[in-house]
Chains A and B, each alone.
Chain A
Amino acid sequence: MDTFVQQLINGLTIGSIYALIALGYTMVYGILRLINFAHGDIYMVGAYAGFMIALSLGFADNPSAMGFVVTLVGSMIIAAAIGMAIERFAYRPVRKYSKMTTLITAIGMSLLIEYLFVFFFSGTPRSFPQLLPNENITLFGNATISTSQILIFVVSIALMMVLQYIIFKTKIGKAMRAVSFNITSAKLMGINTDFVIAFTFALGSALAAAGGVLTAQYNPKIEPLMGIMTGLKAFVAAVLGGIGNIPGAVLGGLLIGAAETLVVGYGSSIGIPSTYRDAVAFAILILVLLIRPAGLLGSNVQEKV
């Protein structure tokens, strides 16, 4: 029982990160019907941006809550700017072409970011500085939760609430919902769709960057290719929840995270070795697409962004 609780805590920790990234996938897909392959790499960019901020401002030497907040917000702003730049210079020019063209552009963008980082930072993993003191808290029995895990839960829930507020209570959120509902009509109603799309990319990228910094606090090894697998799993999470659906992305993320750690923890007893960890998400993806392509929450919920 203790180990089960432990696995679940670990799974939900990773799941929260997947959920943060999945939100970006689902928002962009909701608006442009584009799988933004480069989104996983924005998560990596966020981690590196945080790394650079923490090193250059000296937060690495004396851990403080202030240092963490500055690093988190700084990397979110940098990632948002990069996300908007990608949209402006790579995706906007191909928006008028076929779906395949935009997908290939997105694959190209993903490769470009990854290997630019390999070129400038080298492929060797870096160690992300500990910005807040990390302690293990014993819950009951042998199950423990670390402060960095609590941080992940608290920050990701807070960010999701902010996102919920932006989408449902602000003018730009209303515009986002309108564009995702029907881009042509939205344009006819006088909505500046280009701005709304850019804003969506900024929002999604900021969330992914937050995921990057939070992961780096939990598991301090960062490397330029870390976004590939995490990004793909987050995409699977978005599809599982119903792509284009915001609560679905969160649900999908948590489910994928939990499924993955449970396979690592208990898979060997039912004949699935723990090395199949990375295959779990893809198996789930294939099953979802074959059985219920709309995803878990896909068809029931009307509001899509």
Chain B
Amino acid sequence: MSSLLKSIGIGAVVIAVLYLVNQMMSATGFFGVGIDDYQARLLVFIGINIILATSLNLINGFTGQFSIGHAGFMAVGAYSSAYFTVTYGRSLEATFAGLGETVASSIVLLIAILIGALVAAVAGLIVGIPSLRLKGDYLAIVTLGFAEIIRIVILNIDAVGGATGYQVPGYANFLWIGIFAVITVVVIHNIVKSDAGRALVSIREDELAAEAMGVNTTRYKVTSFVIGSSFAGVAGVLFAHYNKFLSTNDFQFIKSFEIIIMIVIGGMGSMTGAILGAIVVTLLPELLRQLPDLQVGATTFKFADLRLVIFALILILTMILRPQGILGTAEIGSFLKRFRRADKPTGGLAP
């Protein structure tokens, strides 16, 4: 019972902190302390990227199935939920208007998230069942191909704007994005620590051995793929309803690669690593933007354009020098623990 109370307490504190930050983002600020729009946007994208990175980490890092089509599922979630809110959002809001404006729009957003997650999960199932028969680089290419097909299909649906883009009502704010980032981390952490998580890790380590030990590898692989995809869908929903505009250009290969970079930098198979990677990948381009432009003759070189060059170099150098990623499969906490243990006197054994 006390652990339940503890969880509720932690949850309340997390929500309170997120609420506080969210209030700071409003025009008036929180008791005069404000966060400007630029910083607010960065915080929001860190949240969305944490959802994307941790969910892809479940598939790539913990189950060892190399998917490079995560942006496709994000697109499915974004567009399906956006179609729902554009079509039914207003009337639903009117239905719940009696509960107050904030509650009504929150209900619409939660339904949208549910829809986005479900549709993305179904897409994950449809893609996952045939693809997961393949291994390694073939699986990678097929997921890439599926993501691109999804993008082209969406591009050809006129009901969601087609090539011109899609206007979406802005139901999502930092509070909801923060809450769902925390939910994603907690859910995936719990999956990984459960029996099912052990099965997933055993598939990563040796699929044949896992199967010999009685693990239903196909079922676990598909399940992890579906869960990962549905969280990518949630990220898509939040992105759509925060950005208020969707274009299929937001979901090209490069987006999938960006999510890969996040988990590779952090270390595949590390929760804290994925979160760290999401933060680095979101903030690094902004730091580069601070650098002045370089003028050589008639041409100007913008350092902001170097963002992907630097990511690519980090990716290659990480693979050459530390192929398991910065943290590998370890967590930040375990380093701290080891550090603390080393500090303590070891008792009577010391000479």
Contacts and interface: CB of A to CB of B under 8 A. Distances in A.
Interface of A: 34-35, 90, 93-94, 97-105, 107-112, 114-116, 118-120, 122, 228, 232, 235-236, 239, 273, 275-276, 278-279, 282-283, 285-286, 289-290, 293
A104 B253 CA distance: 14
A285 B307 CA distance: 32
Contact of B156 (A276, A289, A293): A276
Contacts of A283: 145, 149
Interface string B128-167: 0010011011101110111011001101100000000000
Contacts of A236: 145
Contact of B146 (A97, A104, A282): A282
Contacts of B307: 115
Interface of B: 66, 68, 130, 133-134, 136-138, 140-142, 144-146, 148-149, 152-153, 155-156, 253, 257, 260, 264, 299, 301, 305-309, 311-313, 315-316, 319-320, 323
A276 B152 contact: yes
Given A109-B312, A275-B155, A282-B146, A93 B320 contact: yes
Given A118-B305, A276-B156, A285-B142, A103 B66 contact: yes
Across the A-B interface, the 8 shortest Cβ-Cβ residue pairs = A108-B315, A282-B145, A112-B312, A111-B312, A115-B308, A108-B316, A101-B323, A279-B152
A275 B309 CA distance: 31
B305 A90 contact: no
Contacts of A110: 312
Given A111-B257, A276-B152, A286 B136 contact: no
Contacts of B148: 232, 278-279, 282
Contacts of A122: 299
Contact of A99 (B136, B299, B312): B136
A102 B137 CA distance: 10
A111 B148 CA distance: 17
B301 A119 contact: yes
B247 to A, nearest CB: 15
Contact of A105 (B141, B257, B319): B319
A279 B149 contact: yes
A99 B320 CA distance: 13
B320 A94 contact: yes
A35 B134 CA distance: 15
Given A101-B323, A112-B309, 6 more contacts: A102-B319, A279-B148, A286-B145, A289-B134, A290-B130, A293-B138
B149 A98 contact: no
Contacts of A275: 152, 155-156
A285 B319 contact: no
A282 B130 CA distance: 14
